[in-house]
Amino acid sequence: MLDASELVKRFGPVRALDGFDLVVSAGEVCGLVGHNGAGKTTFARIACGLDRPDSGRVLVAGAEAGGWAAQSRIGWAPQEPALYPTATARENLRLFGGLAGLRRARLRTEIAEVAAAMGLEGLLDRPVGHLSGGQQRRVQTATALLHRPPVLLLDEPTVGADPETRQALLAVVRARALEGAAVCYTTHYLPELIELDATLAVVSGGRVIARGTRQELLTGLPGRAVLTFDGPAPGGGGAEALVIASALPAEAAAEVLATLGPDARRLRGVDITQPTLDDLYRHIASGELDRAA
């Protein structure tokens, strides 16, 4: 549904994209993660037809990015607020929905539906400039969803959003993916990707350096078992906690517990932590840094 291959984009001496490959299928939510400047926004701008790649191509639902067909098949909510502050939320939605090809009755219906889904009903007739940051964020995401595009590009849609707003946004994104949309979801809040059951694409240095499901990418990453003692932990170098890093942290903890002997009476707690997306990201990023060094 969204297919980017071998994208290269330079801004002067900087290679913002350097062989960027990504395929997102219909019904899939792909979490695009990476540090600032990794190339996520540049990719989004090329997919939306705002910038042209120096080489490579992006297909949006089968159409070359930048053309009329591709632009009518994509819904984009950029990172920064991009709404008319003096116009009401309804007027903003009407403009972007109208330009996406929605006619009168259908436009009204879609506005009502997306407003209900995102808790905007009471805000529709207020100027956007009078809304809070989180409310504006909801309106902005709604403008991308209105015409039910087959491809959605949501660039950090929950930044500055309160928990209620975040939940509403995530619910709508999940629903759109279930309807068959390919969703490319950029975020720094990794737990959101678990809630969305998203696949992951880790971006660094202008390319996707890891791609797969969460389970695939986490396999082999060390988890942690932390054993806390009254007084110094055996073999802990004077510290009260013994930290064991292992791909199978529970088994590793059981092995250590079996060898504790009299020290077992000083044991105060055992905490097992499975590897998280944060660990994955740190692991990949440090690997990249090591290679760069």
Partner 1 sequence: MLRDTAIVARHTCVLLGRDPGTLIAYTVMSSVLMVVLHPVYERLAAPGASGVLSAASGTAVMFTLLALDVAGEQLLSERDWHTWDRLRASSVSRAALLVGKALPLVVVFLALQALLYGEAAWWFGLDLAGGAWRLPVLCLLWACCVASLGLALGAWLRSRGRLGAVADIGAMVMMGLSGALVPLGGLPGWFTGLAPATPGYWAVHGVQAAFRSGSGYGTAVAALCAVTLAAGALAVVRIVAFPGRR
Q: How far is the CB of 178 from partner 1 (least distance, A)?
A: 25
- The reply to whether 14 sits near partner 1 by the rule CB under 8 A is no
Q: How far apart are CA 150 and CA 57, in angstroms?
A: 18
Report residue 22 as tokens.
């990504």
Binding residue (CB under 8 A) for partner 1 from 42, 71, 135, 141: 71
Q: What are the angstrom distances between the C-alpha of 146 and each of 107, 172, 218, 224?
A: 8, 11, 35, 44
Q: Can residue 48 be called a binding residue for partner 1 (CB under 8 A)?
A: yes
Position 280 contacts partner 1 (CB under 8 A): no
Tell me if 51 contacts partner 1 by CB under 8 A: yes
The reply on whether position 27 binds partner 1 by CB under 8 A is: no
Task: Based on the shown chain and the rule CB under 8 A, indicate whether residue 91 belongs to the binding site for partner 1.
Answer: yes
Smallest distance from partner 1 to CB 63, Å: 11
How far apart are CB 143 and partner 1 at their closest, in Å? Answer: 8
Between vectors from CA 136 to CA 135 and to CA 142, what angle results, nearest 5°?
90
What's the CA gap between 24 and 182, in Å, rounded? Answer: 6
Site size toward partner 1, by CB under 8 A: 30
Rounded-to-integer distance, Cα 101 and Cα 122, Å = 25
Residue from the set 19, 56, 98, 234 that interacts with partner 1 by CB under 8 A: 98
Among 19, 56, 81, 234, binds partner 1 (CB under 8 A): 81
| Smallest gap from residue 227 Cβ to partner 1 (A) | 52
Closest separation in Å from C-beta 239 to partner 1: 51
Alpha helices by DSSP H, 20-63: 40-47
Task: Give the count of alpha carbons within 13 A of 266, CB side only.
Answer: 14
Residue 60's nearest CA partner among 52, 48, 51 is: 48
What is the spatial distance between Cα 109 and Cα 124, in angstroms, rounded to a whole number?
14
Tell whether residue 72 is a contact of partner 1 (CB under 8 A).
yes
Binding region for partner 1 (CB under 8 A) out of 90-98, 181-189, 193-201, 219-227 = 90-98
Under 8 Å CB-to-CB from 30, ≥6 apart: which residues? Answer: 22, 24, 182, 183, 184, 185, 198, 199, 200, 201
We find the least distance from the C-beta atom of residue 100 to partner 1, in angstroms, to be 6
Q: Which residues bind partner 1 (CB under 8 A)?
A: 45, 48-51, 68-69, 71-72, 74, 76, 78, 80-87, 91, 94-96, 98-101, 127, 143
